[in-house]
Homo-oligomer: A and B are copies of this chain.
Amino acid sequence: MAQVARAAGVSVMTVSYAYSRPDRVSPEAAAKVRAAAAELGYPGPHPAARSLRRGRAGSLGFVLGERLTYAFDDPQAARFLAGVAEVCAAEAVGLTLVPTTGEGSDVARVVDAAVDGFVIWTTTDDDPVLDAVAATGLPAVILAGPRRAGLPVVGIDDRAAAAAIAAAAFAGARRPAVLSFPLDRERHRQLVRGRELGRVAFPVTRHRWQGFVDAWTSLGGAVGELRIAVCPQNGAAHGEALSRELLACEQPPDAIAAMSDELAIGALRAAEQAAVAVPAALAITGWDDSDAAAAAGLTTVAQSLRAQGVRCAQLALGKASATKGDDRAAWRVIHRRSTRRSASARER
């Protein structure tokens, strides 16, 4: 920059202003600076130096407990990130996906991210990444996730929503089952009975599970009767595989509540292959009201992950102020033909 200043016959500050606040310099001076810069091949202010001096990075950090590619493998994450990205674009701020591998050693990397705040994808209660983020002292918002002193949480009331959708799924059922997200980072794929579940490290999974239990017990059932199929990841293929296992059991389920539309659509496919009638012999519910859910006629929980992404980003960038307590987003159950609507209506 000093060289450009010399070549242009002006001071460094004039050069600096020519880039960062063009209205602060005369058109002539600006022209001289541009010419000198072009001559010398000066690429403009160095981002790191600018960021150091200004005290802000011009980017929002996004953190997952999972390995980084998860952000693009899970459709729910993509919907959420679209909302985050929307705000970033509007504020002319970058979106930095902090590199994570899903192993423990990532903590240090969080600290190395040049960002002005963090949005944290829902993770386990004890994820060390949360401590690392908190240690930076930067504003951070957690999606639907574990609560951490001082950090706002955005999300819906998963337990209540789960109870509401499960009421539709389980009405008139005798052998209910659940297609679940992972319980923790270790146990990834299995079939369990409701009683044998043990500790569930992911708060979202835990809350939805609790809601499903609420619904079933309030219909007069026992926790032990609920079967739970844990899918290793969100995705129709996983839902299909686990549903096939469920349907191959001696006493196949007659109702499946899934924690996402993708898993539920997998269940629909498995039912079709096994020639099981939906909803007559098997009621199925999803979660999220994706386009595919609408096309498939799936009863589901409508929530806008995109809107929640927007909210998280605004909070993390200080463009909105936090509400007292959690930031509860709206949700509602959408009844479609994958559940025995009339039966459910009769029961009430």
Contact = CB atoms under 8 A, between A and B. Distances in A.
Interface of A: 41, 43-52, 57-59, 67-69, 71-73, 78-79, 81-82, 85-86, 88-101, 109, 111-115, 135-137, 236-237, 291
Contacts of A135: 43-44
Nearest to A98: B94
Given A48-B57, A52-B48, A94 B72 contact: no
Given A57-B47, A68-B88, A89-B101, A114 B111 contact: no
Contacts of A115: 47
Contacts of A97: 85, 88, 94-97
A136 to B, nearest CB: 5
A57 B46 CA distance: 11
A93 B88 CA distance: 20
18 contacts: A45-B111, A47-B57, A47-B112, A47-B113, A47-B114, A48-B52, A48-B57, A49-B52, A59-B96, A59-B114, A68-B88, A72-B82, A88-B97, A94-B99, A96-B97, A97-B97, A114-B114, A236-B291
A57 B49 CA distance: 11
Given A46-B52, A48-B48, A135-B43, A72 B79 contact: yes
Given A94-B96, A99-B92, A111-B44, A86 B58 contact: no
Given A93-B99, A95-B96, A95-B97, 10 more contacts: A45-B111, A46-B52, A48-B48, A59-B114, A68-B95, A72-B78, A85-B97, A90-B101, A94-B113, A95-B99
